[in-house]
Structure 1
Amino acid sequence: MSFRQFAIGLTASFGIAWLAVVVVPFFKLRNPAPIAFQEGVDTQEGIYHPKRAGRVANGAHIYAANGCYECHTQVARPSYAGNDLGRQDLAGLAPSLHPDGVDSRRESNIYDYIGLDFAPIGVTRLGPDLSNLGRRVEAEHGADAKDWLMLHLYDPRLDPARRNWSSCPSMSFFFEKREITGQPSDDALGVTVKKGWEVVPGEKAEALVSYLLSLKHDDPVPASMNYAPIKGDDNNEG
């Protein structure tokens, strides 16, 4: 075999693999076609549109720029890839936890990341998965969900009884410490840094928390997209 034949063969081997794994999926998935709900199969009608709420774009950029994806995933794996659907706190909420008593657990799909420049699938799960963080935090803290997230960003170990084990880095640089003049700010955190001073969230903190609260990837999807639906209620809530 000549060097030329070897070089051509090597280039073809890597080139075909690159086309199949990188190029083709990129063009195929960059703009997926809308999927319709099926009459008689799904409980809804029309075209499936993924939910979007809050300052998603700005918050997503801040999330990516600060490396949150290094320790947090945003993907509920189907049963053949990790069985996340059986975890009531990850892939949506089980009926016993959902405010409407429905089973909102489902696996992630490509439409969950449409409109984002960066798909935050994540690298590791050193911290909890955030696919449905907004839904979980609201279920646990109700109207105080935003305040809880703000305090967590400011100091993840602020509550030693519950979170002294957290390895999440503090994002206190997103907050401003300022002297109180007149009435305290309505947005001030419930922390004391110095008498007569308060801590208030900056624009980046507001955007990031809005983005985190928008993470509710548990809306009903067409049956054609739900490859591994939860079967039954009581036996799959743990």
Structure 2
Amino acid sequence: MTFRSFAFGLTTTFGAAWLAVVIVPFFLMRTPKPVSFDETKDGKEGIYHPKRAGRVINGAEVYSANGCYHCHTQLIRPTYAGNDLGRPDWAGLKTDEARGDTRRESNIFDYTGEKFAQIGLNRLGPDLSNVGRRVEAIYAKDADPEAWLLMHLYDPRANPERPTSTCPSFRFLFDEVKVQGQAPANALPVQAPEGEAIVPSHEALALVEYLLSLKRDDTVPASISHAPATKPAEAKPAAAAPQG
């Protein structure tokens, strides 16, 4: 074998893999085509439109800049690739008061409005695909969701329910401001130097809005659902009563 043929074979091998794994998926996923609901399978018609609210772009930049993706994923794996649907409330709420079981897998439309899909590197912390829904429905059910998240970012272990949380503190996203008269409405309920208050920065507020926007549990068309709801099993005819 000559060096020329070796170099050609090596280039072809890696080039084909790069083409199949990176280039082709990039062009296929950068502009996904709209997906429609099917009356027969989904029970309704129309185009599927994912809904997000909040400063998604700015918040995603703060999320990425602070390395949140190192410890948290945003990917509910298909059933054939894992058991994420069985994890408590990661994929949605199993018992949503209004809609019942809202759990589902992730799809390409879940990352609409973001420059990068924050699928994450590790799961040292819980998946955040539906953290906005969890905060509102579970963690801060009787409190202000934004205030709950701000306190969690400032001191994750201040919550008596999470004394051993491994989440790092993001106190550098908060500012100490002078108080003249009444304290700011968004001041955190923590001890601050005399005459000052701790308030969230613009970055902290953008990050919290982004986290609260993570509610990826809406109903999607069966055509992009890896595990569409199965039909209930038909009732079997009752066995005939024994005679005699």
Distance 2:201 2:231 in 1: 45
Match among 136, 139, 151 for residue 137 of structure 2: 139
Q: Which has the larger radius of gyration?
A: 2
Counterpart code for 2:82: G
User: 1:40 and 1:230 mapped to 2: Cα distance?
Assistant: 13
1:36-83 CA-partner distances (Å, limit 9, x unpaired): 001122133211111111010100010001100000000111211111
**Contact 2:93–2:101, Cα closer than 8 Å, also in 1:** yes
Q: Could you state the TM-score of these two structures normalised by the residue count of structure 2?
A: 0.90
Cα drift, residue 99 of structure 1: 2.8
The 5-angstrom pairing of residues 114-129 of structure 1 reads 114-129=112-127
Structure 2 unaligned residues grouped into runs of 5+: 233-244
- Alignment partner of 1:5 is 2:29: no
- Give the structure 2 partner of residue 236 of structure 1: none
Q: How does 1:49-198 map to 2 (within 5 A)?
A: 49-95=49-95, 98-140=96-138, 141-142=140-141, 143-159=143-159, 161-198=160-197
Identity %: 59
**Structure 2: distance between partners of 1:43 and 1:25:** 31
Residue 101 of structure 1: how far off its partner (Å)? 4.2
* 1:179, distance to aligned residue in structure 2 (A): 2.5
Work out whether residues 89 and 103 of structure 2, in 8 Å CA contact, stay in contact via their aligned partners in 1: no
Segment drifting more, 207-216 vs 167-176: 167-176
Partner of 1:40, secondary structure, is: helix
Name structure 1 gaps, 5 residues minimum: 234-238
CA contact (8 A) 1:70 1:124 kept: yes
What is the rounded CA distance, in whole Å, between the counterparts of 1:185 and 1:80 in structure 2?
Answer: 50
Q: Distance in 2 between matches of 1:114 and 1:62?
A: 17
| Contact 1:150-1:201 within 8 A present in 2 as well | yes
Q: Which amino acid aligns with 2:101?
A: D
After superposing the two structures, state which structure 1 stretch, 195-204 or 31-40, moved more.
195-204
Native 8 Å contact 2:56 2:113 kept in 1: no
How many residues are treated as equivalent by the alignment? 230
| Higher RCO, 1 vs 2 (CA within 8 Å, ≥6 residues apart) | 1
TM-score (norm 1): 0.92
